[in-house]
Structure 1
Amino acid sequence: MKIKNALISVFDKSKILKLAKILTQNKIKILSTKGTRKLLKKNKIPCSKISDYTKCKEMFHGKIKTLHPKIYSGILSHPILDSRIIKKKKILSINLVIVNFYPFQKKKYTKYIDIGGPSLIRAAAKNYKNVIVITDIQDYKYIIEKILKKKKISKKSKLKLAMKAFKYSAKYEKKIYHTFKKKYDLINKKKIFPKKIKIILKKKKNLIYGENPHQKSALYIDNNFKKTDQIFKKIQGKKLSYNNIIDANIALECVTQFNKPSCVIIKHGTPCGASTKKNLLQAYNHAYLCDPESAFGGIIAFNKKLKSKIVQKIIQNQFVEIIIAPKISINSQKFLQKKKNIKILITNNKKINFYKQFDIKTINNQFLIQEKDYDNFKFNKENIVSQKKPTKLEIKDAIFGWKIAKFVKSNGIVYVYKKSTIAIGTGQTSRIFSIKNANIKMHENNIHKKNITMASDAFFPFTDNIQEAKKNNISCIIQPGGSIKDKEIINAVNHENISMIFTHIRHFKH
């Protein structure tokens, strides 16, 4: 097959001049669109305007350029089988199609969707035995070499170029699809579970073991996973285990809820201390004091840059498995290098969105899929259901405690004082035991505070929870509400002079 006519329509004009010059020197006629033609003409490379050939001007502000039967007949035709029609209709057989698209932009998404470009390369790729299609600038060199040496391009090479064209088009279409889907979900105001979900996973690496040493495990990633999708990067320490990865993810998801300097300590998948203060050192100190015993061997996450004073305090206080932060000072790194067993994770600088994916759990050959537990609770006066109104500090503590309660294993109870947890009751089979558990921790840590706020991940089934809470100076409670005994619960807090906030959202975590 001899190349006689080439169609060039490129947004990215890198290296196109060299290729175009080679084409004209070898008596290959060039057809091009307005923008490409302007560049070629400026550099004295002869080319024909597509609209002159089709006898049809560009329409609708350039939206219609190449969508014409004479163009697609030239690309899709067979040089022998269709030769009569080609001659009769005076159609140019287009043997070479060089196209790349203008970038898709999410902001003005309908404006920046290339129509002609994808149509051209799909037509050329379909007829790959008779048409060479180029979408990758790196392939210019290959075509130039073949033309200069007057060598034939094999069917295998043409097939490869066609395959690349379809892949290029598919990636472009995928971006558009995801943008339209997001727009549709916003209009629909709810996520719809599709009838079929296709998940392709590839193994990234084997892990040391699973939850326990006798269980083998490995880490798999989505087939479309990119390095930029990673939420953290390990810069020091041994390999991350199965439990490390789960706990680190929980710690990071929890601490990134807060904008002010915050610290969260996670142990076995649940918070054992959390605090928001003026600086990270204060936040860590208060998070650690909530439950020093459980903090031993835990995972500590921060939402601001880590400095050496905090690192020294951590080492002085406890054994730590993992430290997580968005940034870490050079002095901190030098200090931590002496403690090589401590794993240091630096979080991705871009804003992390934990709620764009689903939660998936496996049950034999079945899968349970749910939306992530996204909490959009915003406090207003209507949320107060008690006679006593909470103070401004109690409201702040209630909102803080509510955010932590989302990560506490059910039944979950969180005691908060000045935006720091002072006791957490977690994973009990009844709510009363969770409250008793939190009370025991306060007693053991010798904590005596007044005006403590309590957050409960689900409603109270009985009033005995209120009496048990009152033993430790609980002055404000935040909970979902929704029990058949809500009236009795509200009467109980009114009797004990406790303020109560209903969120109308539940946070069970199993």
Structure 2
Amino acid sequence: MRALLSVTDKTGIVELARGLESLGVELVSTGGTYKQIADAGVDVIEIDKITNFPEILEGRVKTLSPYVHGGILYKRDSEEHVHTVEELGIKPIDIVVVNLYEFQKALESKDPDNIIENIDIGGPSMVRSAAKNHKDVLIVTDPEDYEDLLDRLKNNNIDLAYRQKLAMKAYSLTAYYDSIIARYFQDLTGEEANYKTYGFKKEEELRYGENPGQGAALYNDTYVKGLLDTAEVIHGKKMSYNNYNDLNPAVELAKELGDRAVVALKHQSPCGVAVGSDIYDSYIKAYECDSQSIFGGIVAVNGVIDVKTAQKMSEIFLEIIAARDFEEEALEILSKKKNVRLVKIDFDVDSVKEEIRYLNGKVLIQEKDFAEDEVNIVTETKPSDEDIADLLFAQKVVKYVKSNAIVVAKGKKTLGCGAGQQSRVWALESIKDHFPERDFEGAVLASDAFFPFSDTVEMANDMGIKSIIEPGGSIRDQDSIDACNKYGISMVFSKARHFKH
């Protein structure tokens, strides 16, 4: 048998080479891989002794040779193929051990020449060739498979299923690799092809998905660096599917609202949000919005959690507390609760620009909702500067509340979040009914879409709402404007709809 070894990640390559040599496998290698194996005292043949041609073009061409690909691709059970390679003096290559140039790492350099030079050509070509001819050639692309390969070779335990598994891993690697290159050129040109490619790398198996009967895993989109890339669990159990799913909108909203923002979230929708004078003040205000729903929820803090805040947080059960950081004593206090997950987040990282939703055989891809809300006053009564600040605060929150959505707020503190209703007036009604003793006098209201009727304004007036922000755009906008003028409520059209389904 003959094996070709050519790897960028040289983890375990010397041990593999020694193991193959001990089994009587002849070794062929290239460049740095050859040097490392030879320096370890393993008998290995340099690639140009096989190709009968030196490496050229600064290493761009070294394995692109019929003496390499012919030795990999010929079918061992084909008389014609066997005759051809024998006539041309091409020797078989039965094992190919290859991994690829570090294109992902080259992207970090921001150097266009370095990036282009790290587009691997020979590596993927050998991987694809060997994987295509997997019935006759073993293709190994993952150092974690080296030990199993040696064990199977020793015990003559190489079956078709194993060969197919290695081929699957090989094509997964080249597809992932090419997806990153394609995305680089899409960003470079600002253009998109008809083929949209994403490469996701598995980070871990999760215990289950949304429910115990559903399998799930966590993957990383290595091409981008998003908020959750910075997430570091410093205390508590492993994160679950639902934990990640809920943490994401919580930290996105906390980032959007800026320093001192505290977001309490339950089942994908905010239940209490505030930006106070300090982190403790923000947490208390967020907690007071809905002290029942916050129990067992997620809290994201755009700031450092101090001792006073930690003591207050420890009074209830929270699934996750995510923050920029934790004061040492605050961390000690919260770490006494075994079931809470404490997560550090770098809120300075930019949010990713796309959202992907996989349907039953179709995929929806959209830009994230970064639409800026305008302030177009459409009523006789004008909102004060303080009102406008609250309106814009409430409108940022409403973007993260499931549609149909209404948020009522005052003093950069939510007083109620009405989520997921079939009617917008029902969303407001749910706030009113859920907090029957709450004083909404002087608060503001934000809606994720326009009012088709004036009924929401009528209810808002009954609650004491003083100012409203909504996108406008209904054929019956004037009905709502007239109702606001009737009751002395100021109304602002934001021109931006914020559905979240």
Q: TM-score, normalised by structure 2?
A: 0.71
2-side partners of 1:368 and 1:53: how far apart? 48
Q: Does structure 1 residue 414 correspond to structure 2 residue 407?
A: yes
Contact 2:206 2:218 in 1 (8 A): no
Judging changes above 3 Å, is the alpha-carbon distance between structure 1 residues 410 and 223 closer, same or farther for their aligned structure 2 residues? closer
Equivalent residues in 2 for 1:209-224, closer than 5 Å: 218-222=213-217
2-side partners of 1:347 and 1:103: how far apart? 30
- Matched AA of 2:279: L
**Residue 64 (structure 1) aligns with:** 61
SS at match of 1:414: strand
- Matched AA of 2:472: G
2-side partners of 1:102 and 1:296: how far apart? 48
Q: Does structure 1 residue 258 correspond to structure 2 residue 257?
A: yes
2-side partners of 1:410 and 1:187: how far apart? 32
2-side partners of 1:219 and 1:480: how far apart? 39
**Residue 213 (structure 1) aligns with:** none
Judging changes above 3 Å, is the alpha-carbon distance between structure 1 residues 19 and 251 closer, same or farther for their aligned structure 2 residues? closer
Q: Does structure 1 residue 302 correspond to structure 2 residue 300?
A: yes
1-side partners of 2:62 and 2:241: how far apart? 56
Judging changes above 3 Å, is the alpha-carbon distance between structure 1 residues 191 and 462 closer, same or farther for their aligned structure 2 residues? farther
The aligned length equals 474
Cα displacement string for residues 435-458 of structure 1 (whole angstroms, at most 9, x for unaligned residues): 566567888334654xx4321122
Of residues 345-354 and 305-314 in structure 1, the stretch that sits farther from structure 2 once superposed is 345-354
Aligned counterpart in structure 1 of residue 450 of structure 2, from 442, 459, 473: 459
- Matched AA of 2:437: E
**Residue 225 (structure 2) aligns with:** none
SS at match of 1:12: coil
**Residue 503 (structure 1) aligns with:** 495
- Matched AA of 1:282: D
- Matched AA of 1:414: V
SS at match of 2:392: helix
Contact 1:275 1:287 in 2 (8 A): yes
**Residue 472 (structure 2) aligns with:** 481
Contact 1:385 1:502 in 2 (8 A): no
**Residue 345 (structure 1) aligns with:** 341
Cα RMSD between the aligned structures?
5.2
SS at match of 1:62: coil
**Residue 113 (structure 1) aligns with:** 119
Of residues 422-431 and 228-237 in structure 1, the stretch that sits farther from structure 2 once superposed is 228-237
SS at match of 2:103: coil
Contact 1:397 1:416 in 2 (8 A): yes
SS at match of 1:8: strand
Judging changes above 3 Å, is the alpha-carbon distance between structure 1 residues 389 and 93 closer, same or farther for their aligned structure 2 residues? same
Judging changes above 3 Å, is the alpha-carbon distance between structure 1 residues 490 and 346 closer, same or farther for their aligned structure 2 residues? same
Question: Considering only CA atoms, is the larger Rg found in Structure 1 or Structure 2?
Answer: 1
SS at match of 2:340: strand
**Residue 286 (structure 2) aligns with:** 287
SS at match of 2:297: strand
Q: Does structure 1 residue 9 correspond to structure 2 residue 9?
A: no
Residue 152 of structure 1: how far off its partner (Å): 7.1
Residue 232 of structure 1: how far off its partner (Å): 8.7
Contact 2:271 2:294 in 1 (8 A): no
1-side partners of 2:279 and 2:335: how far apart? 21
Equivalent residues in 2 for 1:409-448, closer than 5 Å: 410-425=403-418, 430-432=423-425, 434-435=427-428, 444-446=437-439, 448=441
2-side partners of 1:465 and 1:13: how far apart? 65
2-side partners of 1:240 and 1:443: how far apart? 35
2-side partners of 1:237 and 1:137: how far apart? 29
Contact 1:291 1:441 in 2 (8 A): no
Q: Percent identity?
A: 28
Contact 2:21 2:43 in 1 (8 A): yes
**Residue 276 (structure 1) aligns with:** 275
2-side partners of 1:143 and 1:296: how far apart? 51
Equivalent residues in 2 for 1:60-99, closer than 5 Å: 60-77=57-74, 78=76, 81=79, 84-99=83-98
Q: Does structure 1 residue 33 correspond to structure 2 residue 30?
A: yes
Judging changes above 3 Å, is the alpha-carbon distance between structure 1 residues 486 and 73 closer, same or farther for their aligned structure 2 residues? same
Residue 90 of structure 1: how far off its partner (Å): 3.0
- Matched AA of 1:345: R
SS at match of 2:369: coil
Residue 285 of structure 1: how far off its partner (Å): 1.8
Q: What are structure 2's unaligned runs of at least 5 residues?
A: 198-203, 222-227
- Matched AA of 1:180: A
